[in-house]
Amino acid sequence: MSKNKTKVLILGGGTGGVIVANLLGRKAKKQAEVTLISNQENVFYEADLPYRVFDKKSLDSQFKPVRKVVNKRVTVLNEEVISLDVENQSVSLKSGASIPYDYLVIATGAHYDYDAVPGFKESAYHFYNEEGIIELRKALNDFVENGKDGKVRNVVVGIADLPFKCPVAPLEGAFMMEHFLRRKKIRKTTNLHYLSPIGGAFSIEQANVHIEKKFKKKNINLHTFFNTETIHTDRKIIESLEGDEIEYDLLLMVPPHRGQDYLNGTPIIDESGWVNVNIKTLQNEDYPNIFAIGDAANLPVSKAGSSAHYQAIATAHNLIDVVKGKFDISQVKERYDGHATCLVMTSLTSAMFFDFNYNRAPFGLGYISNRLFYYFKKYQRFLYFYGFLSGRM
């Protein structure tokens, strides 16, 4: 590799990191020496995880090796970052190596802190990783078996803490749970509750109207302003910061999300460990050679794969222009407009489509729940691995 090349270091081998790596590897091959560091061997496709709870298929197709989906000109290191030195522009790895950079892209996502909410670890099930799904499948199976006795039980879907990945995921969990319980013929004896930390089921008012209408139609009890404080495992009760209590027999809850540990102590994060960036350039304002995208960034937009995808494209194009000398790092363009896209499962066989940005609510047609959107969601995995990750789409 040429010593004259600009060193671009990408941390994280998820959606955002892989897309930035592929675009730079392809479009700035002469100017940039690109390295991607991931502590995971595989890219994990997460967008259909709520759906995967309810089928019994293997989860193997959710994974692809990072090396296989990243451009060959990009150096991929399967290592764990343990610290970041923003002054000296380098990261330290668990193996003892130190990697310098000229430009850094932080795309290391969030980690789940199961201890952040008392009782979560002991009581709640979730669908945010492979282990969670396997455990939840077993718990659902037991719930269905127990449900044959005809007793009335409570299923509660909630959120342990904010912010969290993919705001529509728990909604999808509730909608699909409702359909699943009907299929298993225990819906009539199951009260289904949804706990929302905000004033409605969803943050965007125009979309919320449609979601809440569906909740009413499907008899899902919505509890607003319910910010989980403690889960009392012994009494099977969830208590909120606002003073409410809900009983559960089966609790499906989004785990608490936090920023990555290696960022602790650096001057670029907020109180919760998310990297501070300009909401349109995705650049840290104190250290302009550092960008953060996806779940790792402190942005007023959903932490979701689609947002990470659009943010990665915006960041990659800014970096490509910088390394090619089109403009200086202090002049990067405001290329991200808050764009996010969600296919929202509204049952096991239907979905809605939300496409929005900082200034625009989802389009009207997307609110029509239908089978076509469901098929998009079902087969989007192929598009993800063979299209989105390349950065061409």
Partner 1 sequence: MIQDYTVEKVMDARNSFCPGPLMELIKSIKKGEVDKIYEVWSKDGGSIRDIPKWVDKAKHEMVAVIEENGYTRFQVRKTR
Interacting residue ranges for partner 1, rule: CB under 8 A: 162-163, 197-199, 203, 205, 225, 227, 241-243, 271-272, 279, 300-301, 358
301 or 319: CB nearest partner 1: 301
240 or 350: CB nearest partner 1: 240
58 or 359: CB nearest partner 1: 359
Task: State the residue for tokens 């109180």.
Answer: 271
203 or 264: CB nearest partner 1: 203
**Smallest distance from the beta carbon of 244 to partner 1, in angstroms?**
9
d(CA 36, CA 69): 12
**Smallest distance from the beta carbon of 253 to partner 1, in angstroms?**
17
**Smallest distance from the beta carbon of 297 to partner 1, in angstroms?**
13
d(CA 273, CA 251): 27
Pull the structure tokens for residue 390.
């390349």
d(CA 137, CA 143): 10
40 or 272: CB nearest partner 1: 272
**Smallest distance from the beta carbon of 225 to partner 1, in angstroms?**
5
Q: What is the H or E stretch that residue 23 is in?
A: helix 15-27
Strands 297-298 and 275-276 turn out to be parallel
**Smallest distance from the beta carbon of 123 to partner 1, in angstroms?**
20
13 or 197: CB nearest partner 1: 197
Which CB contacts under 8 angstroms, 24+ apart, belong to 376-381? 376/343, 376/351, 377/47, 377/48, 377/51, 377/343, 377/345, 377/351, 378/48, 378/51, 380/47, 380/48, 380/343, 381/45, 381/47, 381/48, 381/61, 381/62
**Smallest distance from the beta carbon of 203 to partner 1, in angstroms?**
5
Sequence-distant (6+) residues with CB within 8 A of 344 are 168, 171, 172, 351, 352, 353, 354
